[in-house]
Structure 1
């Protein structure tokens, strides 16, 4: 008789949908037992001291396999750290003088099959429609748009082990030349009167009101895209997330949570169905799908019109073939870019650099200039006030208003504002604020557009191509992937965002976790950026411990040792087990 269960894939502990920054942050955090967010500098130093003097001082037992992970060194890979722990159990003389960094590990290096089966850790599999590598979509987008620099500061990254990890990695690899200083946001402080007035009114901060202390200057550099990509690769290697089979190139299209009589008749599990018909089974699911799936366009494009326009997320080569041909023939070319965010400014700059005669930059509001996509008040030394106000809000409607005020639509950095002005001074760019397209006519024969706008743009010529850098929309109720979940386990939404639990769970009885923009009502305005990826991963990890029972099944002695290291609880409680 054939075992029916053998025809099914194994049930994994965690299935992550999305291999971008949010998915990577969650996967890394689930393999990190001592994340930097939990420990102060003093606690970090105590860990270093304990490791340096391990075996010499009569400490609480620190050699348990789970606690021993703190002996790991920061930039060693998952496999090499595992080998070092084996070696250090019989000889510690070679590294006694070194103070190891606080990057924890799981217990054994994964083989190809173990990447899914999870030997010694949570079994994990990742589904992504773009490719079989972490950050594939992210890296491809930056490469296509020729973006050399991230907008984010140095402490925005996905490393759970060290808040200053990117800064340390830059120094270790000698790549200080890959950093750009974010000028104009450090050193100047608000007066007490202005600060008090600002706290009394919940209003978006202007660019000129700087609230970041001079002592934090080192944090306010932005890395090059190459440096950030390499740092992410080091994180992937460190936590053993690069084993073959970890990421499956599949597009998930449905998630169902119910009993499966052939696999798990006594507990509910997730069945994740992909567009190719394949199915995976998991005890928990992490939804890390980024900013959304619905492209925001000022008007729908017909099949014919898509030959002369596209959304910025659809760009595969730049410029379009017809413009490239005209540029090579030294003919006049005209391009329209619609949008008001940083991506639109980068498209305008790239079009000029590629030889386009003139770019018409159209935005429906004013050109807003900010260092980051959220206000400095959410990042500087008063961010605890803003976050406390957000988390203390009585309703999700209040939180949504705070998110909208903090982000306040698309914006460009001061650096790109300067670039745009330089192009405009040379008559290569024409900027039009508070302007919308009210009429259009596309000619397939000439492959050009005739546009009308409000207010009218004088002497607007025939347009060769339109790029819409108008962002992505997110409405949980519209996502095909969540139609079954919304039907079987309906929850409230505000502004398209799900009202999930504080642990970012869909429902207290449904261990479907969301992160990134989908968790904004719990994480705050920064949910959609790299900071939100790490904050979301932290909450998911704590919730995952409770759902999967790891916190309850962990050895009592190891748990007590860990609490003593952290200075948590009653450190004299261990005396109760001592025989006198």
Structure 2
């Protein structure tokens, strides 16, 4: 769709705030006319009807306007150039740039997510297909002991007969073993680049800007009858009919109050620029003893501890306030496999937002590390390079700026530590949409309910029914479930958001739906009961 312009401002169709997995997923899905169905055949049939309907309408328009020009043969048929889309991201000028930076910083060789966790809307097994098509299957690493926990139908019946049936065992078919590999980091990002190229999501539609405020109101230079979004950034203002919030969470914060002079000796994992810091690199180069304290019980804490040991740090102290949790994924297998619809059905049937929020917290159950990294950390512990302290927190900490050393005392099995050179907080990011600076105007002008820090958005993923601000990623968890934080949530969220956006833009365009009977329209789009379409068919006498 062409953008609406006036003599003063340009109003785009869609502005996506965030160029990470959720933002890329939405952009790709909006340019894919025949996405792979995530749920039912009815939905997939609806995609085919929409493609036929829109193609017919476009042809009619071109005939009326005499603009029946052929599309450039070099442009793939999947591209929809009519959509005027802009993405804004503070991290860089290319898609997934912040992700690439973090993966490089932590020296992560493979993702945690299985092969069917990706943002390609064209096919559920797109990442696996890409690996084999490009002879890169050797970059896949099997998740040992993952599929082995699952039982086939025959095995379950046999255990039932023997009275050995265990409870809460995921019923994922053994034939899906191929899914339970993880891709290498270069393979995953190569696939993301392939998505960008396929849908022509070039860097020209992405601008490096920090979004400071979002408003939805009438703009005199555009219309007195239709509200639009005014998105203020550090470089100016952008206008759009629809906006998509696709950010990863609140800005990272260290959970302990630090004075300005102490910030040199402590870093949140999401803010690491150089590892280890320069003053520690000098000590390591001079063969001096160095100690690092890592706070956190998730996978990032284990990755930092491993990286510090490999980079020459003499001793790493890894503390966590709870027990050590070992899981292949952030969420349980029952939420990951093909049969996750059972858990999702229970989630969607929850009567209140509080019930959904509780299910999310129970499913994620705090930070965890993978069996793969557990073995790595155990090797470092065996060699004396890492010491892990469970059920332990920081009691006090004092920074000496002259010697660049921390004096830290703990609460737990051990109270004292040797002088610490640097503290890394791998404590994740918060989830409270009302504290986001860019949403202050929206929360004031269009307040919505807050449940556990998550916004209570509509089933169509919108802020409110009268506000076309769609929410993707972590902040959409009350609609997407515990997987909203992960790549699978990015793809499913993009699918639902794209449906809503296409419905809005289609309605705005008008069209030839009047030529269809309502029964036929409902039948072809999978709405309501299909048997209603038979009601008006004359019965032969």
- C-alpha distance in structure 2 between counterparts of 1:41 and 1:524, whole Å: 22
Give the direction of change, closer, same or farther, for the CA distance of 1:469–1:67 in structure 2 (3 Å limit): farther
Q: Describe the superposition over 1:31-70 as per-residue Cα deviations: whole angstroms up to 9, x where unpaired.
A: 112110268799999x9xx9xxxxxxxxx9x98873899x
Query: Is 1:17 aligned with 2:17?
Result: yes
**Which consecutive unaligned segments of at least 5 residues does structure 1 have?**
51-59, 70-80, 87-102, 108-118, 200-208
Give the direction of change, closer, same or farther, for the CA distance of 1:567–1:490 in structure 2 (3 Å limit): closer
Give the direction of change, closer, same or farther, for the CA distance of 1:104–1:390 in structure 2 (3 Å limit): farther
Query: Is 1:325 aligned with 2:298?
Result: no
Give the direction of change, closer, same or farther, for the CA distance of 1:522–1:39 in structure 2 (3 Å limit): closer
| Mapping for residues 338-487 of structure 1, pairs under 5 Å | 338-455=295-412, 457=414, 460-487=417-444
Q: Give the deviation of 1:572 after TM superposition.
A: 9.5
Aligned to 2:482: 525
Aligned to 1:256: 215
Query: Is 1:503 aligned with 2:460?
Result: yes
Q: Aligned match of 1:287 in 245, 252, 272?
A: 245
Query: Is 1:31 aligned with 2:20?
Result: no
Q: Aligned match of 1:105 in 78, 96, 100?
A: 78
- C-alpha distance in structure 2 between counterparts of 1:44 and 1:484, whole Å: 38
Give the direction of change, closer, same or farther, for the CA distance of 1:104–1:566 in structure 2 (3 Å limit): farther
- C-alpha distance in structure 2 between counterparts of 1:257 and 1:42, whole Å: 34
- C-alpha distance in structure 2 between counterparts of 1:536 and 1:63, whole Å: 24
Aligned to 1:158: 119
Q: Aligned match of 2:451 in 494, 502, 518?
A: 494
Aligned length: 508
Q: Give the deviation of 1:132 after TM superposition.
A: 1.1
Q: Aligned match of 2:232 in 267, 270, 273?
A: 273
* TM-score computed with the length of structure 2 as normaliser: 0.86
1:12 match: secondary structure? strand
- C-alpha distance in structure 1 between counterparts of 2:56 and 2:188, whole Å: 30
| Mapping for residues 131-170 of structure 1, pairs under 5 Å | 131-170=92-131
* TM-score computed with the length of structure 1 as normaliser: 0.81
CA contact (8 A) 2:523 2:533 kept: no
Aligned to 1:115: none
Give the direction of change, closer, same or farther, for the CA distance of 1:367–1:308 in structure 2 (3 Å limit): same
Q: Describe the superposition over 1:422-455 as per-residue Cα deviations: whole angstroms up to 9, x where unpaired.
A: 1001111000010000111110011000101012
1:258 match: secondary structure? strand
- C-alpha distance in structure 2 between counterparts of 1:547 and 1:64, whole Å: 15
- C-alpha distance in structure 2 between counterparts of 1:525 and 1:538, whole Å: 17
Give the direction of change, closer, same or farther, for the CA distance of 1:106–1:393 in structure 2 (3 Å limit): same
Give the direction of change, closer, same or farther, for the CA distance of 1:38–1:429 in structure 2 (3 Å limit): closer
Q: Aligned match of 2:195 in 223, 231, 235?
A: 235
Aligned to 2:66: none
Q: Give the deviation of 1:553 after TM superposition.
A: 3.6
1:532 match: secondary structure? helix
2:7 match: secondary structure? helix
- C-alpha distance in structure 2 between counterparts of 1:166 and 1:559, whole Å: 39
Q: Describe the superposition over 1:465-489 as per-residue Cα deviations: whole angstroms up to 9, x where unpaired.
A: 0000000002111111111111111
CA contact (8 A) 1:187 1:213 kept: no
Aligned to 1:7: 8
- C-alpha distance in structure 1 between counterparts of 2:166 and 2:419, whole Å: 50
Give the direction of change, closer, same or farther, for the CA distance of 1:362–1:559 in structure 2 (3 Å limit): farther
Q: Give the deviation of 1:384 after TM superposition.
A: 1.8
Aligned to 1:73: none
1:6 match: secondary structure? coil
Give the direction of change, closer, same or farther, for the CA distance of 1:82–1:472 in structure 2 (3 Å limit): farther
Query: Is 1:212 aligned with 2:185?
Result: no
- C-alpha distance in structure 2 between counterparts of 1:369 and 1:527, whole Å: 20
Q: Give the deviation of 1:259 after TM superposition.
A: 0.6
**RMSD (Å) for aligned C-alpha atoms:** 3.3
2:37 match: secondary structure? helix
